[in-house]
Structures are given as structure tokens and as C-alpha cells.
Amino acid sequence: MAEDGRACYVYGVVTDDRTDESVKDLPAVGDPEAPVTLVRHGGQAAVVSEVPTGKPLGTPDDLRTHARVLDTLAAQSAPVLPFRFGTVVRDITAVTDELLTEGHDDFARGFERLQGCAQFTVRARYEQDAVLREVVLEQPEAARLREELRGLPEEAGYDQRIQLGRLVMDSIAAKRSVDALELGRRLGPYALASVSEEPSSAEGLVNASFLVEDGRRQAFEEAAEELAEHWHGRVRMRLLGPLAPYDFVADALREGKEGDE
Amino acid sequence: MTVARQQQSQYLDRASSSALVDVVDLILDKGLVIDVYVRVSLVGIEILTIDARIVVASVDTYLRFAEATNRLDIARSGTETHGLPGLMDQIQESGGKKKTKGALEGVKESVSDLLQGDDEEDREPEAEERTRPRRTRGSTSHRERER
């Protein structure tokens, strides 16, 4: 199948019970014309498409497409083992004879662990005015600096401005750790595992991912909705999912190697 | 997504996202790295490196926060809805002359830079300070496992 200048992009691995239709009509990374197909071997199936080897991968569309293929499969049913973006092997023979043959036992462990589980990711951000208001009310020093700066022209009070801005950012950072814990406390009980990372923006609260079993999904979603209501006006909460278990797949395979928990 | 589900989510935003910053946060550096545990014929296609996760902790940001705090009308609590985009807009407005960028803008720029064939190695974003978010989890991180 692979000719000169073509290779095989691998999105991930699924179980063999998926139909070919499950990936039909999905867009492919690197070449919009290429079909996404399943390559089956030993009860497992790699999700692949052909890519030209001469062109670098990593455009915004490539990234979106990678996620879309995997998330579509995850939304249909678990398990899905997502590979890191940019995984490319020589050809279909390399997929069956090397990847699926050598990886078989590891993938099998992953499937067992992630059976009936999907990732949900919460992205929480502070409402700017609400959180600033909290800071001014809670920090007398911030209120004092604000008073001091009132009515001063733009060029005056530079040091106080810096001081106020730094105080506000530090206060938000302190709130962030408290609120991120609260989010974990409320949603964690409905998940098998969780990972959180600090957001990249100054008004971000947390990005947190949860591995949720199908049977607890509704309870998890309700808990998230409840927290979003509790924080309404102060924090904006978004919930993405079901997603492929990007944050949990590596642990699922590794833990299997160390023996069952 | 059913109508019933959407009605349930009055406060939670359930819209699926194709925003680049969301996708980058979700998938970049995540997922299985197959050559760690199986020997396969990997093909080394050039992968554009993208780091959208720029945290700005600069004098400029302090000033913006100070300004936003000063503008705040404490008396009218809870009714103002300037919201976060307000601050982001301000940060980006000054982005031209100062060195601060919104994360999304940063991605677009570095991707298009790279597509034009600039050096592919870790390019320093123009923001004065960049940090990768710290990940917290109970067990070993992806990075440690790759060694």
C-alpha cells in the first residue's frame, strides 16, 4: 500500500470489534484526501491513514484532525488507546508485523484497564471582575493601594501600580490552589484517576482531566454542573468530553506491567 | 449530545471545542509513545514544535491587573460583566508594542513561523517569561517514563 514518499500515520489502537464504518468519512492528518482505516491483527486494530513523508506535520488542522479521529472513536465506545501526535510508521506491514505484534500484550493490558472509561477535561477560568473584587475586599493592602492610586494621572504612581498588580496576581494564585483542590474534592470521587495542570493564562484556574467509567459518567457530569452553579458569576467552567484518554493511557499500560493494583 | 443533556447543563459549558489552544492543551505531549516499549519502523517525519503554553508574569501584566483593579466598581458588586475577555483584549491590545500575547495568537504565530522554514528547535516565545505548567498526579509523569 505504501509507495514512495508515503507512510502510515497511526492515531491509536482500538479493539477488533469496531466496524470499518466507525472510521469512515473521518478527515485524515496530513492529507485530507486519504481515508482513515482500521488495520486488524490479533484481535486489535490500529487506526491509520496514509501521509506524504515530504511534508512536516503539526499544522493547527493536523492537531485538530488527530484529536477529532480519536475523540470520535472515544465517543462511540471505549477503549481507545491514543498515540502521541506525529506517530508515523513505514507501511501497513510495519503496523501489523511490528507495531501490533510487538505491542499486543501491552495494548491488551491497556484495553483491560480502560474498558468502559473515557476522559473528561474541565477547564476553569476566573471571571475577571468577580475575582478582582474578592481580592480588593479580602486584602486591605490592595484596597489601600487602590485608594492611593485613585485620581492619580497615568504616569504617576508607577511603583504602587506594580505593587498592586503583583499583589493581585499573588492573591489570585493563592485562590487558584484552594479552588483547584475544591474542584478535585468534588469531582475526584466520581473518577478512577485525575491529573491537573496549571492553566497557561493569568486568569485561568485549572485544567483538570478525569478518567470516568461509563456507569459513573452521569454522576460525574452532575457534580460538575453543581460546582459550575456553585461558582456561577465567579468562575466559568467548561467540560470537554468524552475524549480519548490522552492523560491516562500511558499509566494504564505501565501499571499493568507492575502487577495489578 | 441530546437536548435533555443541554438543558441539564445550565451553568456548565459543554460545547465541544476546536479552538487551537484547547486542542494543543489536550493532545500535545500526551498519548502513547510507541518506540518506548516496542521496536517498530518509525518514520521520522518532521514534526513542527508548538508551545502555546505561555505564562506571562511581567511588569506589563502587573500594570494591566492594577488598571483592571482600579477600574473596578466595588459598590456595584456582582452586576458588572466585563468578564475575562476584557482583560485578554487589553493584554493583546498592548501586544503590538509591548511583549505580551494571548496564548492563541502565540500559537498561530509560531506555527506560521515554522511553516516558513525557520529553525525548528525550541523557539523562545517573545513573552518575557515562559513556564510549562506543572503537572500534578499521584504517580510518575509521562516524561519520567520516557527515560
Backbone angles phi, psi at B142, to 5 degrees: -55, -45
Whether residue B20 contacts residue B108, with contact meaning beta carbons closer than 8 Å, is answered with yes
> How far apart are the CA of B75 and the nearest CA of chain A, in angstroms?
10
A124 and A95, same domain (yes or no): no
pLDDT exceeds 70 at position A227: yes
Residues of A within 8 A of B78 (CB-CB) are 130, 233
CA distance B77 to A136: 12
A45 and A132, same domain (yes or no): no
Among residues A79, A96, A115, the one where a domain terminates is A115
A138 and A87, same domain (yes or no): no
What pLDDT score was predicted for residue B147? 34
> How far apart are the CA of A23 and the nearest CA of chain B, in angstroms?
19
Q: Is the CB of B32 less than 8 angstroms away from the CB of A59?
A: no
- Residue B9 cell numbers, joined: 447543563
The ipTM value here is 0.82
Report domain extents, chain B.
14-74+81-134
Answer whether 0.90 is exceeded by the pTM. no
Residue B84 near chain A (CB below 8 Å)? yes
Question: Nearest residue on chain A to B53, judged by CA atoms?
Answer: A200
Going by pLDDT thresholds of 50, 70 and 90, the confidence category of residue A99 is very high
CA distance A171 to A146: 15
pLDDT 10s digits, A56-68: 898 889 999 999 9
A100 and A126, same domain (yes or no): no
What pLDDT score was predicted for residue B60? 81
Q: Is the CB of A133 less than 8 angstroms away from the CB of B43?
A: no
Is the model more confident about A123 or about B80?
A: A123
Dihedral of CA atoms A181, A186, A190, A194 in degrees, nearest 10, equals -20
Going by pLDDT thresholds of 50, 70 and 90, the confidence category of residue B57 is low
pLDDT 10s digits, A138-169: 999 999 999 999 888 877 888 999 999 999 99
What pLDDT score was predicted for residue A4? 60
> How far apart are the CA of B35 and the nearest CA of chain A, in angstroms?
9
pLDDT 10s digits, B23-43: 888 998 899 987 655 677 778
A184 and A170, same domain (yes or no): yes
pLDDT exceeds 80 at position B120: no
| DSSP code for B39 | -
> How far apart are the CA of B98 and the nearest CA of chain A, in angstroms?
16
Number of domains making up chain A = 2
Whether residue A39 contacts residue A98, with contact meaning beta carbons closer than 8 Å, is answered with no
Is the model more confident about B43 or about B56?
A: B43
Q: Is the CB of B54 less than 8 angstroms away from the CB of A200?
A: yes
Q: Is the CB of B18 less than 8 angstroms away from the CB of A64?
A: yes
CA distance A151 to A153: 6
Among residues A98, A115, A132, the one where a domain terminates is A115
Q: Which domain holds residue A215?
A: 118-257
Whether residue B84 contacts residue B65, with contact meaning beta carbons closer than 8 Å, is answered with no
Residues of A within 8 A of B69 (CB-CB) are 132, 135-136, 142, 146, 164-165, 168
